[in-house]
Amino acid sequence: MKTFLVLAGSLCATIGAQAQMQKKQVKSPSKEPMNVLFILADDYGWNDLSCMGSKYYETPNLDRLAERGVKFTNAYATCQVSSPSRASIMTGKYTPRHGITDWIGEKSGEDWRSMKRHSKLLPADYIWNLPQDEYTLAECLRDNGYTTFIAGKWHLGEEGSWPEDHGFDINKGGWSAGNPKGGYFVPYNNPKLTDGPKGENLSMRLSNETVSFIREHEKKNKKKPFFAYLSFYAVHGPIQTTKENWNYFRDKAEQLGIKESGFAVDRTLPVRQTQDNPVYAGLIKQMDDAIGNVLDAIAEMGLDKNTLIIFTSDNGGVSTGDSYSTSLLPLRGGKGRQWEGGIRVPLLMQYPDCQSGTICESPVIGTDFYPTILDYAGLPLVPEQHKDGVSIFPLINKDKIEERALFWHYPHYGNQGGDPSSIIRKGDWKLIYYYEDQHCELYNLAIDISESEPLNIQYPEKVKELKTLLDAWLIEVDAKIPLPDLEYIPQKEAQVKQVWKTEVLQKQEKNRMQMFKSDWEPNEDWWGSMITID
């Protein structure tokens, strides 16, 4: 990085101006106040939808949203893990600016040594609570007359930094935890969500809470717009479903043909190569059913005529680590990793009078939601807050926005095998900079979406150009970088990675095949999904 510091400093003003561009407002096509329904999935992969190419998972309700609205093929989260990207949605800022660069709760600095990874670097420290001085999207909408509501995951700080502390009038289920502590069936072990009847599914419960809020709001405040943030815990691990769903998708896997092997090691951990996990498929179905429940209610109440609906994910799907749930091929990697599988996500939008079946191929990113929502609602933009986002409505309206670079900064080791790195994408070119040994990888995504062949040797000037821009951006946002661990012992790290490549690989292959056995069951009541009578 030091090679380009002088030149990088001179480019900071250019990068800053680029982040402030495109303030032109697109007026709302409706005279009525515009409602906003923002649906956020957790750890949901780019191609984990039927409408994005999956032949195994079934997502009829998300497909319906795509058919009636806009599908983005180059949409990105601002980070390969959840808390940072969620904070970017709320703030309109890249992760180094708001300070949350890893999932809240992960160790950093010298505390990282307790993880026994024996890594070469000590991950950078980061903020554990969404700063109170950030003017969140929810606060902005509330201050402009919206009733604000959240159902589901928050994961942006401890008590005192929960949704109600950052602009949400009503909170159903959002607190410190980043995963469903009680699983996907009652009891939920969630202090912000009371337990329902035995056998109740968490995704449908959050959907029902959202529908109840909208119905009650329409009865009491029909002339007042709402912002409903339906933030699923699905499809984060631990993955769980019902016996009925498992059986259906187990049979489907057999019909499609079960491959003998389902994993391959990519540098560190085993990476899932097949979409054939019947439990994960069932979990997706539960979430899709819950989404359909909300979409049906919106249509029934006639609110589809003045409601902007957005669906996306907080980071890529889990192909390594955690539950080893899915395959994102042809994208490389998944959650926690620096390749496209970790940061490229599904994005669907539907709004009144939009052209059905529109496909947008322009790159967009999570910082864009804040100005886009304000733009479409006909509200003034707040450029000093959402300084890293632009409204993407001109793209949808067949217009253009000025070409810009997109950036990522993850000075941490992912649980899923990711490396401390920073990334820039400009046009079709993507450069990854690795902090362990200061090397770069250059890819052209138009010809190599799988990032299989670095092009550093063929295009040295492109490497220099993008690295210079990346250095300038890192200076501008005051990015924290990982530091060398003075206690690093290469042999110990090699031993850890050898276990990953052998024992972990064998374990995952065994787990995968066991789920296809006709008598397989996780426990006697299928994680509590079977209703029992006391």
| Interatomic CA distance for residues 316 and 48, integer angstroms | 10
pLDDT at 336: 97
Q: What is the DSSP string of 29-53?
A: S-SSPPEEEEEEESS--TT-SGGGT
pLDDT at 221: 83
> What is the CB neighbour count within 10 angstroms for residue 453?
12
Helix (H) or strand (E) holding 514: helix 505-514
Domains of the chain, earliest start first? 33-109+119-397+490-514 (3.40.720.10)
**411 burial level (CB within 10 Å; 0-12, 13-18, 19+):** buried
- DSSP state at residue 83: H
Please say whether the beta carbons of 366 and 85 come within 8 A.
Answer: yes
Written in H, E and C, the secondary structure of 2-17 is: HHHHHHHHHHHHHHHH
| Interatomic CA distance for residues 249 and 509, integer angstroms | 18
Please say whether the beta carbons of 255 and 287 come within 8 A.
Answer: no
| SS3 category, 50 | helix
Q: Return the structure tokens found at 262.
A: 């389902």
Nearest to 16 by CA among 480, 476, 479, 467: 476
pLDDT at 31: 54
What's the residue count for the chain?
534
Please say whether the beta carbons of 41 and 330 come within 8 A.
Answer: no
The series of mean pLDDT values per 10 residues for the chain, 534 residues long, is 36 36 38 89 98 98 97 98 98 98 97 97 98 98 97 98 98 97 97 96 98 95 92 97 98 97 96 98 98 98 95 98 96 98 98 92 97 96 97 83 94 95 98 98 98 97 98 98 98 96 97 96 94 57
Beta strands 263-265 and 270-272, pairing class? antiparallel
pLDDT at 24: 34
| Interatomic CA distance for residues 512 and 271, integer angstroms | 12
Q: What is the DSSP string of 116-127?
A: ----SEEPPP--
pLDDT at 397: 77
